[in-house]
Amino acid sequence: MGVRINPSILSADFANLEAEIARIGDADLVHVDVMDNHFVPNLTLGLPVVERLQAVSALPLDVHLMIEDPDRWAPGYAETGAASVTFHVEAAADPVALARRLRAIGARAGIALKPGTDAAPYLDLLPEFDQVLVMTVEPGFGGQSFLAETMPKLRRVADAVAASGADVWLQVDGGISDSTIGVAAEHGADTFVAGSAVYGADDPGAAIAALRTAAEAARPAHRH
């Protein structure tokens, strides 16, 4: 069964992003981490860069907004043509209204949950979203260690997605590697972000293939 591997260009060479995206041609989407130095302590890139990435990337973009006031800013990212725009529920005033705006523009609408954020308030709203991102590290930096304590929440969301029948991708982000991707897949993730595990490898294509094989082997057979 298919899984998605979305390398994060946070771990790529920021001076050569077009070439870095060309190195991951066998990935599914390119994960783009937008950080505003307010919602998280780090600062990365913003709308003008995402517009250029969208123009030069052969792969669809999976934009992860770690910013304050996504209600105001996220629609602009959808308007670039990004395939997927994910905002943090901790920062959004009205997640459902924002997701509807993103969908109306033509993007898949995603919500992200920090490790300490309870998923329960969102489980009845799953048909409003196309993706739920269960963060497996505190957002802000690449190269951190996977937080296994997020796995029960991941499974609760996976069970709710299955019960709802909605077509919601379940994404994990942070510390995903050959040694952690299996447990995330077992708990229901189908979409995997990997930064350092892909761009820190000598051969990013081989790293993507290994992650994909490990995830597919671990996916529960009863899920679809």
Catalytic residues: 33, 173
For residue 62, state whether it binds Zn ion (rule: CB under 5 A).
Answer: no
Q: Compute the least distance from the CB of residue 185 to Zn ion, in Å.
A: 18
Site map 140..159 versus ligand DX5, x via CB under 6 A: xxxxx---------------
Among 11, 12, 17, 33, binds Zn ion (CB under 5 A): 33
Residues sharing a CB contact under 8 Å with residue 98, sequence separation 6 or more, in sequence order: 70, 71, 74, 75, 87, 92, 109
Stretch that binds ligand DX5, among 87-95, 96-104, 173-181, 213-221 (CB under 6 A): 173-181
Options 22-30, 70-78, 97-105, 132-140: segment touching ligand DX5 (CB under 6 A): 132-140
If we measure between CA atoms, which residue out of 97, 93, 73, 94 comes closest to residue 85?
73
Strand partners, 191: 4, 171
> Considering only 75-83, 91-99, 187-195, 216-224, which stretch makes contact with ligand DX5 by CB under 6 A?
187-195
State how far the Cα of 212 lies from the Cα of 44, in Å rounded to an integer: 27
Name residue 32's beta-bridge partners. Answer: 63
Q: Output the smallest distance, CB 47 to ligand DX5, in A.
A: 18
Residues 36-75 that bind ligand DX5 (CB under 6 A): 64
User: CA triplet 126, 130, 133: central angle to 5 degrees?
Assistant: 85
Alpha-carbon Rg of the chain, whole angstroms? 16
The single residue among 3, 5, 11, 74 that binds ligand DX5, judged by CB under 6 A, is 11
Question: What count of other Cβ atoms lies within 10 Å of the Cβ of residue 196?
Answer: 18
Q: Which is nearer to ligand DX5, 119 or 137 (CB)?
A: 137
Residues 77-116 that bind Zn ion (CB under 5 A): none
Residue 179, classed as helix, strand or coil, is: coil
* Nearest alpha-carbon partner for 153 in 132, 130, 177, 178: 132
Does 4 engage in binding with Zn ion (CB under 5 A)? no
